[in-house]
Structure 1
């Protein structure tokens, strides 16, 4: 993007260019953070307490201890490919999610900007609403892929589903259409404040970070602003992310995942209360460290790639027009 910065994010490019740039950003981001995503999901699904040996005395399956410990254990027991389990549905998820997210964001921004005076909204409120709507639309549209990503990442050495096609058939046959949307309530409840806070923080931080005398990563304020906004937003809504993961692995195959003792949950509120009661605050935030480690490069790469892809397309369009 040119020197106008992120304030122009919603103004530059056609809807198709926005969709393409968002999709490219999603794919690149997913490739970079895939192993961290698997580690995070494994930690989120672990219900036994590391401080209480009695909680996992009779547990079949691994007991993960921290980000590095989980990484080493997956490599030792499942090999390098274990870190990319669920990558195919995840790549499809990020491709579709990035495209829908940025398209919905720019579309909603244009609608809000069309509001006549004196009813126009402050730019921060505009960004929050646009980000929240974009997140809700993208989450709902791509949720079945998110569920498949989680279920494949939760598989240990035993293959619960032999292939993506087999998993779709099994879920459709044994769980029905609703099976593809287990935990959607938690997903939307999480993503609305997350994306709203992320875009509002991102657009507010961009001019501040741009004027910083400190050298910025990648030589741009896009990545730095993306990192800060993502960390703040992710921490605020993390318990809902854990709830979503726990609900996504419910169903007839629940006892066959790498963690054999995942409890039976139903509903967002009851799941949150169950985790709080039986696992405490640590249970709500299990995997937060690796999630924040993941969030920083993911958001930085996403926003940096989006800005560069959009700038490239605009440059090519300008050259073609001139010719």
Structure 2
């Protein structure tokens, strides 16, 4: 019988796994970019959800109501390119993040096998630990790109940063090195359980669903979708807190939402949101986030599995 460690060796080299993860990130990001922009705009909106105002600006910023109305509003006021704002740093983020994440997940699994012995801990716990390590490593390594993605997506017609180079230089000059890592605390607090839950659910469901023949998807993609929706719902408030902290600093009042309050720590930000916007305020943008999670995870896992097989076949042909 083939052990899991042996199968890992057969599932591509470190370079092939990294390349497949990067390819999956590149393609999935472009597909879901408009939904990502909508999610960020909704997350940064701060008026109480019970506010009846729907047709006038709030302190110079638009009021968004729902996913489709937000898309229409952005198209009407900013054009089609408005739905892809921040796509350059986001593409870099997804490519680097996915490459590091998949490579780290594989290495963490190998490390657990070599250190604790295969079968010492349940497969779901092993997947949780490896996924948490992979998510935390990838998030910390690529966090400045995540911050840049958020700030560009938050820009309206009055651009805060003209281009990526200016943004990098201005943040360093005006906010210092720590400016690139605003919100890293809630980011890690969110991504570690998120990736842990994601990989635990994915690895649990994949063996049972992988042979399913679905009209527009595969069993593996379905497992990825269920895993992503589960993990996203459990950790969404920390994602929202991270977004609010990422736009802090000297440019805070220059984004499309002009009334973003000043926030500091993770817990104080969460308390302020609950006090001013109600508990539901922590879940702004959850609907579009879940809508985004399905195609993002399906495309990511579907592309990763096929890209990995492609790179493995290239390696085998080069040996022959």
TM-score, structure 2 normalization: 0.94
What secondary structure is seen at the aligned counterpart in 1 of 2:100?
helix
- Partners of 2:210 and 2:118 lie apart in 1 by 31
Post-superposition offset of 1:120: 2.1
Cα separation, partners in 2 of 1:140 and 1:11, compared to 1, 3 Å:
farther
Post-superposition offset of 1:249: 0.2
Name 1:281's counterpart in structure 2: 279
Name 1:82's counterpart in structure 2: 82
Matched, 1:112 2:112: yes
Name 1:44's counterpart in structure 2: 43
Name 1:153's counterpart in structure 2: 153
Post-superposition offset of 1:8: 5.2
Name 1:195's counterpart in structure 2: 195
Which blocks of at least 5 consecutive residues in structure 1 are unaligned? none
Post-superposition offset of 1:123: 1.2
Name 1:299's counterpart in structure 2: 297
Cα separation, partners in 2 of 1:11 and 1:241, compared to 1, 3 Å:
farther
Deviations 1:14-50 (A, max 9, x none): 1111100000000000010000000000000000124
Deviations 1:79-100 (A, max 9, x none): 0000010000000001100110
Say whether the 8 Å CA contact 2:229–2:293 is kept in structure 1: yes
Name 1:66's counterpart in structure 2: 66
What secondary structure is seen at the aligned counterpart in 1 of 2:250?
coil
- Partners of 2:40 and 2:275 lie apart in 1 by 21
Which blocks of at least 5 consecutive residues in structure 2 are unaligned? none
308-317 vs 32-41, which moves further: 308-317
- Partners of 1:118 and 1:295 lie apart in 2 by 32
- Partners of 1:206 and 1:143 lie apart in 2 by 29
Note the aligned Cα RMSD (angstroms). 2.1
Alignment of 1:226-237 (within 5 A): 226-237=224-235
TM-score, structure 1 normalization: 0.93
Post-superposition offset of 1:316: 2.1
